Structure 1
Amino acid sequence: MGFAVWEPPHGRCNLLNYPWSNYVKVSGALRHFAFMVMEIHGCILAEIQSPAELKHMFKNKIQNIGTEGSKILRELGNKVEKLEKLSPDIDLLEKVHEAAEELQMMIDQKSYHLVNSEKWAARK
């Protein structure tokens, strides 16, 4: 809730052309994003960790998703601060989707690294 300090504290406003519903949507999206960041932070600090080789293998693709996501947040923050509309011609999520697809393709290609083959061999 504290992320949306720009929200008017007085509740729904009856002024002409006041975009209250848009403020509610943006604050909900920011709240959801904050939960995701907290979840990722918890995974990073978890006691059970993957091997360093796996982390290094996927590091660049994951960092790319984080970088593109932070660009979106900066753009949204600037627009809200300046009370400007987003351009309908620009798809903010396009690069994040591309980065996520690249990571998914890499996971698909390298999935054999994610399975402990020694454990499966012991079961046969």
Structure 2
Amino acid sequence: MLRALHRSAIRCKVPWAVALEVLARDARCVYCAKLFCEASGLRSTFPTWDSLNAGKKPTVDDVVLCCIGCKASKGRKPLRLWLQSGYCRQHNIELRMFAPVALRHVKHAADPTG
């Protein structure tokens, strides 16, 4: 898994030092809390990178790991808009499920002053 994530970090322009910190922090999808497990053979349990601030230099606070299902559904949508999607309703994904790093981003986007 580490080799595949290293290759994808390079493709996504995530510095390896940042990637290592994110890997240590995010053992589950930051959106749906699904545990990552490539050994299961189910692609839906594979981790992938997501940027909370596209276009900004990647930092530990702006890069997260999420499951392929959440990433494919979310795409480039803002988190608050994505939470209203059919995918989130179908998978019972709610704001309260978000990991702290994603939750901080949603709260900051709602009130950029603090």
Q: Larger strand proportion, structure 1 or 2?
A: 2
Note whether the superposition's TM-score is higher than 0.5: no
Scaled by the length of structure 2, what TM-score is found?
0.26
Scaled by the length of structure 1, what TM-score is found?
0.25
Q: Larger helix proportion, structure 1 or 2?
A: 1
